[in-house]
Amino acid sequence: MTVLETDSFVSALRAHSQRYHDRHPFHRKMNEGLLSRRQIQGWAANRFYYQENIPRKDAAILANCPDREVRRHWIRRVVDHDGTAEGEGGIEAWLRLGEAVELTREEMQDERHVVPGVRFAVDAYVTFARTRPWVEAVASSLTELFAPDLMAERLAAFERYYPWIDRQGLVYFRARLTQAPRDSEHALQVVTEHCRTPEEQAPAVAALSFKCDVLWSMLDAIDRAYADR
């Protein structure tokens, strides 16, 4: 594959920034300080269902991946989310976010607030990672290419517009400012190395499109569930 062909493929992947969920009306309202306390809480509780399933998605990729070097790098994602000890990792950080927006750990973990549309979208994503070729599952994770800007904007919005949120609970967003670029760089390298022909590239682009749909559908469901709260 020539440099031009690689550039074209990467451009096709990066073009999905136009479909990223930072453009969703719910996200725009969040970043403009227009959400109610209950809407923020509903978002945090439902997003936790996604967060706690990310290590399962990544473990599925590990199980399907025959490349030891890829596995050595990819396993960091599971460790980042699960931690190596009690009180560590991204899932713990999101539980602290829940506490910062005045939810209890119990109500986050027992999934009482998870709406059907979010559950369906997240479960579909985990199933995708388990059942599709591992390179496609890696490609689906490339929404992380667009995550650092979202995290920075979200962090600034929370600090500016939602003073009732405990600032100690925003550690997850700060961590992802460095983790997401590292992870997306590796994933992009893997995808470009393993998708050399148009027949290999098309499913990778479709996988990223699917992931954008998952994230957008989650916000659709949250927006509808908490529209009047």
Neighbours of 39 (CB within 10 A): 20
Q: How many domains does the chain have?
A: 1
The string of pLDDT tens digits covering residues 184-213 is 999 999 999 999 999 999 999 999 999 999
Cβ pair 86, 105 in contact under 8 A = no
Low-confidence ranges of the chain (pLDDT < 70): 1-5, 229
Strands (DSSP E) along the chain, which ranges?
none
What's the pLDDT at 125?
98
Neighbours of 143 (CB within 10 A): 21
Domain containing 139 equals 3-225
The CATH number given to whatever domain includes residue 179 is: 1.20.910.10
The whole model's pTM is what? Answer: 0.94
The string of pLDDT tens digits covering residues 7-44 is 899 999 999 999 999 999 999 999 999 999 999 999 99
What's the pLDDT at 4?
45
Neighbours of 148 (CB within 10 A): 16
